[in-house]
Amino acid sequence: MTISSSLNASVAGLAANASRLSTISDNIANASTYGYKRAVTDFESMVIDSGTGRYAAGGVRVTSQRLIDQHGTLVSTSNATDLAIRGRGFLPVTSISSIAGGGSPALKLATTGSFRPDAEGYLTTSGGLVLLGWPANTDGTMPTYPRGSIDGLVPVQINSGQLLSDPTTEMVLAVNLPATSTMAGASGQGESLAMEYFDNLGISQSVDVTFAPTVPGAGSSNEWTMVLTDSASGGAVIGEYVLTFDDARGGGGTLLSVADVSGGAYDSLTGRVQVNVAGGPIDIDIGMLGAPGGMTQLSDSFVPLEMTKNGSPVGNLTSVEVDANGFVRAVFDTGITRTIYQIPLVDVPNPNGLQSMDQQTYAVTPDSGAFFLWNAGDGPTGDIVSFAREESATDVAGELTQLIQTQRAYSSNAKVIQTVDEMLQETTNIKR
């Protein structure tokens, strides 16, 4: 029995080292595979209680697992949608075949990927993995999505022919009005200017502004009537305000009061008035009372000081960027940047309990625990790095060292089998 147990133990040792050789060969073969996680083989002794004074070899048992929580080095690339994770977490992906029929995507996890738009605009790897994300609202804001399920996750799709206009919602109007025009004996000639804005269709329109001075019979009134008209409304008046300027020492030339005749009321806390053009409301900042910025009345010249606006005409999509928090932003040639998706990071309590699948992807299992979708950079997860890939976690030098050890162990077990064979032969020879 003792001799036969020695033979069985050595056979188990051969099988165990063969398994270890398989993981080593797999690791070395994938030394250049982006996102590859090392597989390791552990040995456990098996003990057989054969009674006092006798010993039976139990042999060895082998277990293998993939160290998914180990990370490779990040390397830079030239593609903005090459993504890697700096820290804990996984990118949500799915196979292109799972969305072909329009059904719900089957969640897979990956730590890196080179995503590029396919024929339909889906961000896809060369192996057919599609990046998943939460779609943003049309104005670039993110709605609330569930975190414990994949409801809301959709394939990230980039429309290369997308056009976008950004309507004007805010303006700044700061001019200097000539103080001499509100003095007795002045001609009463007014001033005018036009401020461009973009409507909801990206068409250039204008708010035309006229300033009419109040000429008193004596002294100085320091008063102007500002009238605003909208070109998109056929020149209709959208606001009229009476501006009075301070002529006291220290505050001379600044706004003293604003009286509303028509249009939105003047807000003294923000220095703004709101007018309604054909496409909707626009806030116009004319300055706060007593403040040096904004509207002034000094000297004898009319000078536009600041005339700015937000918004832009129609722009063409030029590129797509992914920031550290997972926001996918479309960049247009007019300078507009609009959030179109958010890529969450998937986290599980036990990453090494995930099921390994092809193309360095993983699936959630009972051993891994339930998943949760985090904003990149929040909670326990790391952030997303664009223009980057994660290299293989394989250390070739370490694997070659283990290869030598495995070869020696295999040879030693084979030697034991040879020795047991010789001993059995001697036992057979006793009968002769």
Q: Please compute, for residue 429, the number of CA atoms within 13 A of its CA located in the half-sphere on the CB side.
A: 6
Question: CB neighbours (10 Å) of residue 333?
Answer: 12
From the list 410, 427, 312, the residue with the least C-alpha distance to 21 is 410
Task: Based on DSSP, count helices (H) and strands (E) in the chain, helices before strands.
Answer: 2, 31
Q: Please list the pLDDT of the chain residue by residue as tens digits (432 residues).
A: 567 677 777 788 788 888 888 999 999 999 999 999 999 988 877 777 666 667 667 677 888 889 999 999 999 999 999 999 999 999 999 998 877 666 678 899 999 999 999 988 899 999 999 999 999 998 889 999 999 999 889 999 998 777 777 899 999 999 999 999 999 999 999 999 999 999 988 889 999 999 999 999 999 999 999 999 999 999 999 999 999 999 998 888 999 999 999 999 999 999 999 999 998 999 999 999 998 888 999 998 999 999 999 988 888 888 899 999 999 999 888 878 889 999 999 999 999 999 999 999 999 999 999 999 999 989 899 999 999 999 999 999 998 998 999 889 888 888 888 887 778 887 778 866
From the list 204, 221, 206, the residue with the least C-alpha distance to 173 is 206
Question: CB neighbours (10 Å) of residue 63?
Answer: 11
Cα distances (Å, whole numbers) of residue 180 to 256, 299, 311, 349:
17, 7, 36, 76
CATH 2.60.98.20 in the chain: give the residue spans. Answer: 168-310
Architecture of the domain delimited by 168-310: Sandwich (2.60)
What span, in angstroms and rounded, lies between the C-alpha atoms of 294 and 2?
100
In this prediction the pTM is: 0.75
